[in-house]
Amino acid sequence: MDWELREIPYIPGVPPKYSEELVEGIPRRFWDKVEMEPTTGCWLWSGGWMSEGYGKASYQGKEWGMHRFFYTKIVGEIPEGLMILHKCDTPQCVNPQHLRAGTQSDNMLDARKKGRYA
């Protein structure tokens, strides 16, 4: 199966603050830390704990990259060995519509296309 080409299902562009019923399994305390960026549509993690530009938080005793957490809860399980890549090139973003599952080499390719180093 070609995971690289898999499209992410449409998710209504409702500000997460007002749509806690939108997705089950994402706690209110996480939604409260997501800020909608109206221009880009990015959902910016503002939880404070960041690592290499990615938002982080703990959930049920496990440390999560928030982009991976939101992807898992809204889109589904991340296929074994794949990374979650940002189509919007904003590591802080957790909007699943801006995320896709891909390989490490996709990531390098993306970076090269955008003229930066991986």
| Residues engaged in binding Zn ion (CB under 5 A) | 42, 88, 90, 93, 95, 98
Q: How far is the CB of 95 from Zn ion (least distance, A)?
A: 5
- Given a contact cutoff of 8 angstroms between Cβ atoms, the answer to whether 95 and 38 are in contact is no
Q: Which of 96, 101, 100, 98 is nearest to 88 (CA)?
A: 98
Q: Which is nearer to Zn ion, 57 or 92 (CB)?
A: 92
64 beta partners: 57
- Name which of 57 and 84 has its Cβ closer to Zn ion: 84
**Residue 40 corresponds to which tokens in the numbers above?**
């880009």
How far apart (Å, rounded) are the C-alpha atoms in residues 26 and 21? Answer: 9
Of 61 and 113, the one with the shorter C-beta distance to Zn ion is 113
Comparing CB distances to Zn ion, the nearer of 75 and 95 is 95
Query: Exposed/middle/buried for 69, CB within 10 Å: 0-12, 13-18, 19+?
Result: buried
